[in-house]
Amino acid sequence: MLVMKFGGTSVGDATRFQHVADLIERVRARHPRLAVVVSAIAGVTDALIRLGHQAARGDPGWAATLEALAAQHRRTVDALALPPAEAAALEEALRAGFGQAEAVARAVAALGELSPSALDRLAGFGERWSARILAAVLRARGVSAEAVDADAFVVTDDRFGEASPDLERTRERARAHLLPLLERGVLPVVTGFIGATPEGRPTTLGRGGSDFSATLLGYALDAEAVWIWTDVDGVMSADPRIVPEARTIPELSYIEAAEMAYFGAKVLHPRTLLPCIDRRIPVRIRNTFNPQHPGTWIVPEPRGNGQVKAVTLIKGMSLITVEGRGMLGVPGVAARTFATVAGLGVNILMISQSSSEQNICFVIPAAAAPRVVQALRAAFEREIARRDIEDIWAMDRVAIIAVVGAGLRATPGIAARVFNALGACRINVLSIAQGSSEYNLSLVVAESEAEEAVRRIHAAFYG
């Protein structure tokens, strides 16, 4: 059993739908038990969300947005030149779907407000349409394919916009729904992105959530692997816009991939891998536009421990420092600092404390820095008055660079190579943290030097 997912750019227009159908046919010759997950056509989810906001604020332009979407889908279907019966059935299904979307938009316009649940209902239409188109294209080629709406079996909580699936219920329902189809030799073409609460209210798994849908399905159907077809040759060793020499990483562990995602690489959302980790299901990232390329395998135990796999970058950060000689004697400064930040709901990406205990540094998104500094100054008012804490301040326009790879901590010389590479070009490192995890070494540099720093570090390991 294999699950394959195709992203929005992979089904960008009629030619691409045909190309995806080619790929599916080729793979299916070797993997007859196959399920496919599909995203909305590129840009459609954005347009649906825009439409919802237009309707809510009483902008009659929502109708034109919807009509443009309908026209785009009609054009795509026309260009597919399907057999007349298939084309007629598909047009009818799409007409009904657009009718439903219009009804939701009208309700939103009447209420003058877009609830998170209405937004999910709207945002999820794109997948329903693309799945129907892809199933029709496959049927026109003689593949017995059927579009399946995942809200019938992806059971989630009611955190609309970013719902969490209930793995076991989803597994049970997905099996009840899909195994009979598979037994009959039918290829299910499943909508990505969407689910429903136990009461049947439509939800979405968050932007980019179709990857998650695919791994959920892989889990539910005990797939031997999940292949995610996208528009790049796999996971890269650095952002190719910054490092032209960046390469595809052949193998990564789940943890390495999650670490990269956490530190800003556009890999997979960390949640995506969760369903696969338990059952050790490998996830493979492949390029729809370059299917000869083997892509990246994300597996439980990759080869190449102790190697730097990737250098990632997150910009737009601030480095907050709490500093003072008297901190040594004051208990709980760290705890109070982080409790204060947590109380503001601000995410800390990296922490370091000097062993002399004279300062604590941590990195947060720049937008939150003024609030955080203000709250900390208030929280430590007494310590500041007593001069136990001398200053609390933010350094803006910094970036976090993370060097990611399993076993880095146990491998001598990695840090030295990183710092030599930066020293040679006089880039100043503002703060360092080696995670207690052995999976990364992260450092903070000025944003203006960050891209050069990434290039230098990448060259030190991949040069």
Q: Which is nearer to Mg ion, 8 or 165 (CB)?
A: 8
Give residues 126-155 in contact with ligand ASP (rule: CB under 6 A): 126
Q: Of residues 70-129, which lie at the interface with ligand ASP (CB under 6 A)?
A: 126
Q: Choose the contact partner of 352 out of Mg ion, ligand ASP, none; CB within 5 to 8 A by kind.
A: none
* The Cα angle at residue 93 between residues 90 and 95, in degrees rounded to 5: 105
Q: Interface with ligand ASP includes 275 (CB under 6 A)?
A: no
209 binds, among ligand ASP, Mg ion, none (CB under 5 to 8 A by kind): ligand ASP
Cα torsion for 338, 341, 342, 347, to the nearest 10°? -100
CB of 196 to ligand ASP, least distance (A): 16
Nearest-approach distance from CB 428 to ligand ASP, in angstroms? 38
Smallest distance, Å, CB 226 to Mg ion?
Answer: 16
Q: Which does 312 bind (CB under 5 to 8 A by kind): Mg ion, ligand ASP, none?
A: none
421-422-424 Cα angle (round to 5): 70
- CA dist 373 and 384 (Å) reads 13
218 lies in the binding site for Mg ion (CB under 5 A) = no
Phi-psi map region of 250: left, alpha, beta (phi>0 left; psi -120 to 50 alpha): alpha
- If one asks whether residue 214 binds ligand ASP (CB under 6 A), the answer comes out as no
Residue of 253, 259, 252 whose CA lies nearest to 236: 252
Residue window 185-204: x/- pattern of binding to ligand ASP, with contact defined by CB under 6 A: -------xx-----------
The nearer residue to Mg ion, 210 or 318, going by C-beta atoms, is: 210
Contact 457, 421 (CB under 8 A): yes
Minimal distance, residue 228 CB to Mg ion, in Å: 11
CA angle 349, 457, 262 (to 5 degrees): 25
Q: Which is nearer to ligand ASP, 53 or 207 (CB)?
A: 207
Q: How far is the CB of 454 from ligand ASP (least distance, A)?
A: 27
State residue 68 phi and psi, 5-degree precision. -65, -40
Which residues, including other chains, have CB under 8 Å from residue 142's CB and lie 6 or more apart? none
For residue 341, the tally of other CB atoms under 10 A from its CB is: 21
Query: Whole-number minimum distance, CB 193 to ligand ASP, in Å?
Result: 4
Q: Which residue of 2, 35, 40, 444 would you call a contact of ligand ASP, by CB under 6 A? A: 40
Is residue 52 a contact point for ligand ASP (CB under 6 A)? no
Site residues for ligand ASP, 5-24, by CB under 6 A, read: 7-8
What is the Cα–Cα distance from 336 to 463, expressed in whole angstroms?
44
* Residue 12 Cβ vs Mg ion, minimum distance, rounded to whole Å: 11
CB 214 within 8 A of CB 192: yes
Which residue type is seen at 358?
Q
Q: For residues 437 and 272, what is the distance between their CA atoms, to the nearest angstrom?
A: 21
Span near Mg ion by CB under 5 A; candidates 7-15, 49-57, 71-79, 138-146? 7-15
- Residue 240 and residue 243: Cα distance in Å, rounded? 5
Residue 195's binding partner out of ligand ASP, Mg ion, none, with CB under 5 to 8 Å set by partner kind: none
Q: Does 209 bind Mg ion (CB under 5 A)?
A: no
Task: Choose the one of Mg ion, ligand ASP, none that binds residue 405, judging by a C-beta under 5 to 8 angstroms depending on kind.
Answer: none
Task: Give phi and psi for 61, each to the nearest 5.
Answer: -60, -15
Question: Which of 314, 207, 219 shows the shortest CA–CA distance to 268?
Answer: 207
Q: Please pick, from the candidates 9, 10, 45, 237, the single residue that binds ligand ASP as defined by CB under 6 A.
A: 45
What's the CA gap between 256 and 49, in Å, rounded?
33
Contact with ligand ASP (CB under 6 A) among 209, 275, 282, 302:
209
Cβ partners under 8 Å of residue 124, min gap 6: 151, 191, 193, 194, 202, 204
Site for ligand ASP in 61-80 (CB under 6 A): none
φ/ψ region of 176 (left if φ > 0, alpha if ψ in -120 to 50, else beta) reads alpha
Q: Which does 126 bind (CB under 5 to 8 A by kind): Mg ion, ligand ASP, none?
A: ligand ASP
**Window of 37-45, 155-163, 182-190, 337-345 that interacts with ligand ASP by CB under 6 A:** 37-45
Q: Does 39 bind Mg ion (CB under 5 A)?
A: yes
Tell me which of 8, 165, 264, 302 binds Mg ion, using CB under 5 A: 8
Does residue number 165 form part of the binding site for ligand ASP (CB under 6 A)?
no
Q: Which residues of the shown chain bind Mg ion in the complex (CB under 5 A)? A: 7-8, 39
